[in-house]
A and B are shown apart, each in its own frame.
Chain A
Amino acid sequence: MKKEYIKPYIRKQTAGVMNKFGVSYNKGHREEIEGFHIGDFTEKFGSPVFVLSEKVIRERYRKIYSYFSSKYPKAKMSWSYKTNYLDAVCSVLHQEGETAEVVSDFEYQKARRLGVPGKKIIYNGPYKPLESLIVAFKEGAMVNLDNFDEIIKAEEAAKKLDIKASVGIRVNMDTGVYPQWSRFGFNIENNNAFNAVKRIQHSEYLHLEGIHCHIGTFMMEPSAYKEAVKKIVQLMRRIEKEFEISISYLDFGGGFPSKNILKGTYLPPEVAIQPVENFIDAITDTLLEELEPKEYPEVYLETGRAIVDEAGWLITTVDAVKRLPDGTKSYIIDAGVNLLYTSAWYNYHVEIDREIHGAYENSIIYGPLCMNIDVVVESAFLPPLPKGTRLILSPMGAYNMTQWMQFIRYRPAVVMILEDGTVEQIRRPETLQDIVGPESVPEKLKRFQF
């Protein structure tokens, strides 16, 4: 009987990093996702493959919505399409009752095609083509305007339809966090926001219905929302008094963090990230403090990442193992930054699909692209992985399936584990025809010979 083989290692002990355990004491591994074996996914759908969980999406949504609606009477939530606009994902959230929050004509059309009525769409973003505004007004969407030129454009659209269109404005303000997102919307402190309302109320074709803000992304500090709510309620009061109108909705956007590990943070996310309840408390407590019950407007949240991020994984395969000239261990996997745009700001959680003995070391995980920038994880503490090991990267549900690009390689399958215990492909892997379909070659370039 031969002995079990463990990959050999020798390591020099260096002052300052002599910790036997490093960051990984329990050397766990992950053999399955919700009861489905990791290998079954890759066997059936190829590698890499994105895996989403219907159950987790619903649970995350319900947790947030039930807390939010228990704290404020007119609580509404709208699904942030840009976070993940795969039809199946949007459908789960629409079934839960979320409306659609879109930021482009493409997203608007995608929501409509999926069966979301215009009245259940919030249309945000700094650029809205005239034609799309005409459609949105005609269909009764909630449109939040971003700048003075857009007010003029909206007026033109409403004039063409000969209606008085309801609009909201997006505002920005100092909430004590850096960087301040001052490029979107009208600034409150310098009176820009008030002037925008004045301009809208002067118009024959527009009237103000709501106020929208979105103070940042991956916010770590709930108190910023408290500031935002205070300033917006103040603005609302001033507008209501000055123009004798009633604001029917306030939209506080999103920006709540997930348990992804932002680069540059030291503590693990279970500890560094405050629970989502704290963010909701900051908003609802402040609203209840500032408002009289008779004036409660509808309040929207556009939570994206905090719902879907932890509902997604990427299963990928180690294709080669390489030791770099400086001694660093590195791995080449079959998914790169083309699929993982978010690798620029997150240190993903990396799990392996089997128990592997041997010494852990800090390793670099490279993607498959022939590009120097294709680094998926700059430093992962891993045992010696043999070729063929599957890595499970997470959280993956937010932004990857929208910001991915078709660059060098095809985009892989996305599957969803359904609540009934089945797995379904919700986006098939791309084929050559998907990519070349829109292309055409001028007649005289069609022939070549070597």
Chain B
Amino acid sequence: MKLTVAVSGINTIDNPGPGAGICRALKESGMDVRTIGLAYDALEPGIYLDHIIDKSYIMPYPSGSREAFIERIKDIHSRESIDVIISALDAELPIYMDIEPVLKDIGIKMLIPSKEMFRLRDKLRLKELAEKIGVKAPEYMSCTSLADLHNAVNELGFPCMVKGPFYEAYKANSPGEAEGYFGKIAAAWGYPIIVQKFIQGDEYDVIGCGDGNGNDIGVFAIRKMTITKLGKVWNAVSIRNEKLIEATKRVVKGLSWRGGFEFEVLLEDKTQEIYVLEINPRFPAWVYFPAGCGINLPARMVQLLTGQDYDTHSDYKSGKLMIRYTNELVKDISDFEQISTFGETSEKGE
């Protein structure tokens, strides 16, 4: 069976999206998959990675109109017959949740959370969620003005984390720094902005995928070894921490989670207690790492959606190392001309 899977988030930049990793995992799964990249900018590197992404299209921004977004997908679908879309960006997920029934009607399947699940994992409701799954949540306050920010930092003290509604998190050590980050995040992503108490400990991450009925179809845990200035994991090691895996399973069960996710936690140094930092409602950028260790979540997701058999085990080895590196491609300005003027890449070999 030949399948066509469209994937967003192919911006493999210093704050990378998971799209290229998803496509690579699909290509190496043994399935016969045509991969379509959905990009928002003509310089998203994934567009030029034609060894893993067969063709790319430019999409209108998700902040525009819903109709425009649907129209563009229908246009691409009419030429590509898309079987599955894997959405991989926080900012576009709400629009996909909204239009999923429309896509289903035209034969495109997605495994994404419902609006209710999505709301439950909202950063503003972490406390509620943490209680539900039996872990802790760091104190936080949400801010929509500078006055709120001052109030929050007085309450929570320094250092503290300043976080955006979709992306970006910074550690602030002073009111000046906090204000700087606040302005920077608000300008890019709007409100509310979250100020969170800083807890001394190590950051861990679990990737997984829920089937929507309370079961996971595989989970994989790592310790972040190095992270970038933007807070993105750069090097990581796979671990097997049963306490953490169990907490992850409780998340999947408790929310009946549907789709890929990243469960970001912090293990406090002195107590080893689990603090939930965030639940990202999509695969993280390092999604290829588990695939390379035998837990190919994008492939399992596609198999589930298209009615094929799929694995659900989480049998992987601890001590596998992920080394991310940068690389340069050489392309021609005409490749850029193609995507920037026509909104799509040319077919391979054309």
Contacts and interface: CB of A to CB of B under 8 A. Distances in A.
Interface of A: 13, 15-26, 178-179, 221, 264-268, 270-272, 381
A266 B189 contact: yes
B94 A24 contact: no
Contact of A24 (B40, B60, B66, B192): B60
Give the secondary structure class of A's interface. loop
Contacts of A267: 62-63, 91, 94-95
Task: Enumerate the 4 nearest inter-chain pairs by beta-carbon distance, A residue then B residue, closest first.
Answer: A23-B64, A18-B42, A25-B60, A25-B68
Interface string B34-51: 000000111100000000
Contacts of B40: 19
A56 to B, nearest CB: 19
B117 interface: no
Contacts of A24: 60, 64-65, 68
Contacts of B315: none
A27 B124 CA distance: 36
Given A16-B41, A272-B94, 11 more contacts: A20-B58, A20-B343, A21-B59, A21-B60, A23-B63, A24-B64, A178-B192, A179-B148, A266-B166, A268-B64, A271-B94
A271 B118 CA distance: 13
Given A23-B68, A25-B71, A178-B192, A18 B340 contact: yes
A149 B331 CA distance: 75
Nearest to B344: A20
A13 B63 contact: no
Interface of B: 40-43, 58-69, 71-72, 91, 94-95, 98, 124, 142-145, 147-148, 165-166, 186, 189-192, 340-343
A13 B340 contact: yes
Contacts of A270: 65-66, 98
A25 B64 contact: yes
Contacts of B59: 21
A181 to B, nearest CB: 13
Contacts of B342: 20
B68 A26 contact: yes
A3 to B, nearest CB: 21
24 contacts: A16-B41, A18-B43, A19-B61, A20-B42, A20-B340, A21-B60, A21-B72, A21-B343, A23-B60, A23-B65, A25-B64, A25-B71, A26-B67, A178-B192, A179-B147, A179-B148, A264-B186, A264-B190, A266-B165, A267-B62, A267-B91, A268-B66, A270-B65, A272-B94
